[in-house]
Amino acid sequence: MKNVLLSVFYFMFLFTQAQQNNFPEKCGTMHLLEMHQNNHPQLQVKMQESEKNIQHWIKNNKGSNKSVITIPVVVHVVYVNNNQNISDEQIQSQIDVLNADYRRLNTDKVNTRPVFDTIAADIEIEFCLAATDTNGNFTTGIIRKQSPGEFFGLFTPLDAVKSSNGGIGSDPWPTDQYLNIWVCPLIPGLLGYAQFPGDNPATDGVVITTNAFGTIGTVQPPSTKGRTATHEIGHWLGLRHIWGDGPCDSTDYVDDTPNADASSSGCDLNKNTCVNDSTFWGNFNPPDMVENFMDYSEDACMNAFTKGQKNRMWAVINTLRPTLLTTMNNKNCYTVGIHSNILPSNEIQIFPIPAENNFTITLNEEFIQSLTVYNLLGEVIFSKNLNSSSAVIDTQHWKNGIYTINVKSENNNFIRKIAVTRH
């Protein structure tokens, strides 16, 4: 009963703050952590032990990642009314932002100030909508669920959006294999929250409000560039807020991020709230890094992670999310729209694109065991078992449009898109 009362009280507090403050709490991650620790005191001890392992990995493996990894994502769209049932294209726009931000391919990286440009990092992590479920079946990586609620608060009830109990939310896919993101209407003023690694697997993932997910559709200023998800996934990968959630002597456990005495709002490039005491910066006193994705600056201001943050994220993956290293596979990717691949591959060839009356599909190193084609509604329009390196598929009776091809070989599963156009 005590925990329930605390949850209700905190919900009322958040709602009041959201209505009254010019800059309400944008991220609920630390509040979620505090509530989990209050309910489960052993979690704090567990996280302290995890931090020792993270720092040990960084000390002994700094910069040792050898290749880009791809994390399959499942997006749970939980909506009350149809306006909140965001489009596939809006979801893909968010995936595109994540890939740009985490690979430092974002066009606004040119706005990183020279003092920080040398420490800005390509994190070498990519994201894609999952193309296969845990049973190996085709999926778009998008789950849609209508909910009877009005909006979700962090604790009303606790993480209700992450469970189908009572018909309210959507159950996560295995959290050791997928990044689960729930997109839903949150309490006004709250943009999103994430669960730190090492917490309860049943609620692991990220929650983003409908109006701050992606770059098109339902997004509202100033959260129109998809940086809420970039920020919250940073938490999911172990990053803390850049100001350490306290005054100047607080820490985010990263050496190259300058100290700050509070979060930022807007984009004050002259802000310098702490005297440097970091050995990394030596005698230099850097300004607050308001362009860091882990601050509270507006979307248009954010443009960089640091090398130290990269080391921490990789340490977390290796120590607290190691199964992702074996389950991640860029062939398990589904993309919305006509462009077919997140990463180019010479293992599979399809031509001509667009197709008119037929197309040929070829695997260069394996035999095709099965080939299935889906329309945009997810309906199977063609399926065939094969045992050859190539096949010619007749499209004369297909309608013009975009189709998804699922090709399975003995060792791989390929997802590709093709357009069929007849004049």
Q: Is the pLDDT assigned to residue 326 strictly greater than 80? A: no
What values do phi and psi take at 51, rounded to 5? -65, -35
* Greater pLDDT, 45 or 375: 45
Q: What is the pLDDT of residues 268-311, one digit of tens each?
A: 999 999 999 889 999 999 999 999 999 999 999 999 999 999 99
d(CA 338, CA 330): 18
State which fold the 346-420 domain adopts.
Immunoglobulin-like (2.60.40)
Among 33-37, 64-68, 273-277, which is the least confidently predicted range? 64-68
Which residues are part of the catalytic machinery? 232
Q: Are 290 and 297 in contact (CB under 8 A)?
A: yes
Residue-range domain boundaries for the chain: 2-325, 346-420
pLDDT band at 346 (very low <50, low <70, confident <90, very high): low
Contact 326, 69 (CB under 8 A): no
Q: Tell me which of 93-97, 110-114, 130-134, 204-208 is least confident.
A: 130-134
* Neighbour-count burial of 81, counting CB atoms closer than 10 A to its CB (0-12 exposed, 13-18 middle, 19+ buried): exposed
In this prediction, residue 3 carries a pLDDT of 46
CATH of 2-325, one of 3.10.180.10, 3.20.20.80, 3.40.50.970, 3.40.390.10: 3.40.390.10
* Mean pLDDT taken over the chain: 86
pLDDT at 68 over 60: yes
Q: In degrees rounded to 5, what are phi and psi of residue 205?
A: 145, -160
Dist. CA 31–CA 26, nearest whole Å: 11
Angle among Cα 238, 244, 245 to the nearest 5 degrees reads: 105
Average pLDDT in the 3-30 region? 54
CB within 8 Å of 34: residues ≥ 6 apart: none
Give Cα separations from 233 to 11, 146, 180, 272, 288 (angstroms): 23, 24, 10, 26, 22
Percent of the chain with pLDDT over 90: 64
Collect all residues with Cβ–Cβ distance below 8 Å to 284 and sequence separation of at least 6.
276
pLDDT computed for residue 251 by the predictor = 95
Kindly give, in sequence order, each residue whose CB lies less than 8 Å from that of residue 228, ignoring residues fewer than 6 positions away: 26, 191, 192, 208, 209, 212, 213, 299
